[in-house]
Amino acid sequence: MQNAELTDVVVFDVPSLTRARELVSQLDSSWACHAYREANITSVSVYLSPARYNDLAALLRTVEEWVASRALGGIMFWLDGRGYVLEARNPALVASPI
């Protein structure tokens, strides 16, 4: 890994300040977070707890559910200096247990 910047912050890019406030409202009972708009990009920064080993997985599942409930399809998120797309799972494509 070259020049990777490891952080305890995940940044989600969302379509509007209204959506950003909705996401903060969804997350703020479990994570420290805030919404902001900068250079025509609206984002939510979420601070991970080093004391909770599964913090990132739980956060991503929660945001994935939020994305699905808002019919957004997917949003970008940034972690450790890299960008990723978080897409809402299509429940029809998820196999149910037999």
Q: Collapsing DSSP states into helix, strand and coil, what is residue 95?
A: coil
Which residues, listed in sequence order, are joined to residue 12 by a DSSP beta bridge?
A: 44, 77
Q: Which two tokens stand for residue 83?
A: 């960008």
Residue 4's pLDDT band (boundaries 50, 70, 90)? low
| pLDDT at residue 53, as a whole number | 65
Is the pLDDT assigned to residue 69 strictly greater than 80? yes
Q: Check: CB of residue 9 under 8 Å from CB of residue 46.
A: yes
Could you give the domains of the chain?
Answer: 9-91 (3.30.70)
Please, is 77 exposed, middle or buried when counting C-beta atoms within 10 Å of its C-beta (0-12, 13-18, 19+)?
Answer: buried
Give the DSSP H/E element, type plus range, for residue 33: strand 32-38
For the cut 80, the answer to whether the pLDDT of residue 80 exceeds it is: yes
Instruction: Convert the pLDDT of each residue in 8-63 to its tens digit.
Output: 899 999 999 999 999 999 999 999 999 999 989 999 999 998 777 678 999 999 99
Q: What is the pTM of this model?
A: 0.83
